Chains A and B, each alone.
Chain A
Amino acid sequence: MKNTDSISQEEFERFERYLFGAMRPDEQLVLEKELAENKVLSAQFKKVEAVLNGIEEIALRENLDAFHQEWNENRQTGKKSHKIGFPLSIAASFLLLVGFFTWLFLMRPDANEQLFTSHYQADPGLVTAMGSSEEYAFDRGMVDYKRGEFAAAIQRWEALLSEKPGNDTLHYFLGAAHLGLKNTAPAKMYLDRVTAQESSAFREDAFWYLALVNVLDKDYEKALLNLKKSNHPEKEDLIKQIKEK
């Protein structure tokens, strides 16, 4: 008996065209006749059909999980913002006051951190193409990034690195997200990769953020070198402040 699990590329693509409705009517009639007469061919066809439908359903189910997670996160955010009632808000104000004085007397940031904070503004991120089904995982990370949930964005984006190892957009935003968490070593690593790509649209911005990484690391020499290559509107101001140190 012929093995129905083995199928040539040509036969597979013929089934595929039929299932996609991309076959000429005469070719379609021939295949339908063959399927009606040949049990082995018919069994092969059914298996291919089940596999292709299965792939689509698997991807759909993954998407549904992602929609659910997104919906759930939005709900949690909504709940949190509504939960703070009157007595809690008083307690929160008190804690804020305590926090402020603690910061003022005990934890006041170093000069380099102050310099960083006065110039750092996170990259606003990219517009997530809600209409496009492609690059969903990247877009989902961008939603996290824009909410300031940098750790979640990093987790999603780093999972994409193995498939897109040379993608400058991915590296740039991974660098930006790590910088948002003040993780200077990984931020530097990813941003360095962007500046190494001369054709990258993110290159000049990457120099600016690299300079800010250097400021955090108190490496002012490198900060000045990176600032020279940046075209950020605040670059002259930051150069001046670094030189005054």
Chain B
Amino acid sequence: MQKYTFQHFTQEELLEGVKNNDSKILRWIYQDQFPKLEKYVLANKGGEQQAKDIFQEAFVALWKNAKAGKFKPENGTAIQGYLYQIAKNKWFDTLRSSKNKKTVPLENIPETWDEETETRESNFEQIEISFKNLGGNCKELLTRFYYKKESMAIIARAFDWTEATARNNKYRCIQRLRENIVHQKI
């Protein structure tokens, strides 16, 4: 049995909360851990905005790993430690790459160039642009279903639709999103 960590939550509860996009848990982890990372970045040649960006990237990495089952908490503060470590490493990479930019000639670009990561990031950017161009109803519908994990019945009630209409509209919104992505590629 894991020990309680953030006041009321066990590591299992935190992990489940992260996997299920539970706002209460996500907010708690964020606001509890960010000050520590900000202090570290500020003490190591960084600014507030950089601390925020690095921490959010680390948070997304934790979230992805938790969802993919790549992270298993092994002690009472595992999630906090993991998040802090990812963030610290990212900041270290940033410092190193900015130093390299000043000193390393172009032909010495690191051999570990990760093409797959770049493609994934570029795809995400396209999806993000397309999503932001959707209408308000589509954005809310898709967010409620895919992020908040609300049932079709709840969504249908919120929009004053039937469940069948909600389901069809979800498909239409996805189609619109995918079409926007295709247009961007042209």
Contact = CB atoms under 8 A, between A and B. Distances in A.
Give the most central of A71, A131, A133: most B CB within 10 Å: A133
A61 interface: yes
B97 interface: no
Contacts, number: 97
Contact of B56 (A7, A64, A131): A64
A130 B137 contact: no
A71 B30 contact: yes
A219 B74 CA distance: 68
Contacts of B140: 163
Contacts of A162: 136
A199 to B, nearest CB: 15
Interface stretch (A50-58, A79-87, A175-183, A187-195): A50-58
A167 to B, nearest CB: 10
A52 B31 contact: no
A77 to B, nearest CB: 14
Q: How large is the interface on B (under 10, 10 to 19, 20 to 34, 35 or more residues)?
A: 35 or more
A163 B60 contact: no
Contacts of B136: 162-163
B30 A68 contact: yes
A67 B31 contact: yes
A7 B182 CA distance: 13
B131 A54 contact: yes
Interface string A122-157: 000000001111101000000000000000000000
Given A51-B181, A63-B27, A134-B150, 9 more contacts: A9-B171, A52-B146, A54-B124, A55-B131, A55-B142, A55-B146, A57-B64, A68-B30, A130-B23
18 contacts: A9-B171, A50-B123, A50-B127, A51-B127, A55-B127, A55-B142, A55-B143, A56-B21, A56-B147, A57-B64, A58-B127, A61-B60, A63-B27, A68-B52, A68-B56, A70-B31, A134-B144, A162-B136
Interface of A: 5, 7, 9, 12-13, 47, 50-52, 54-61, 63-65, 67-68, 70-71, 130-134, 136, 162-163
Q: Which 5 A-B pairs have the closest CB atoms?
A: A54-B127, A59-B147, A133-B23, A67-B30, A9-B171
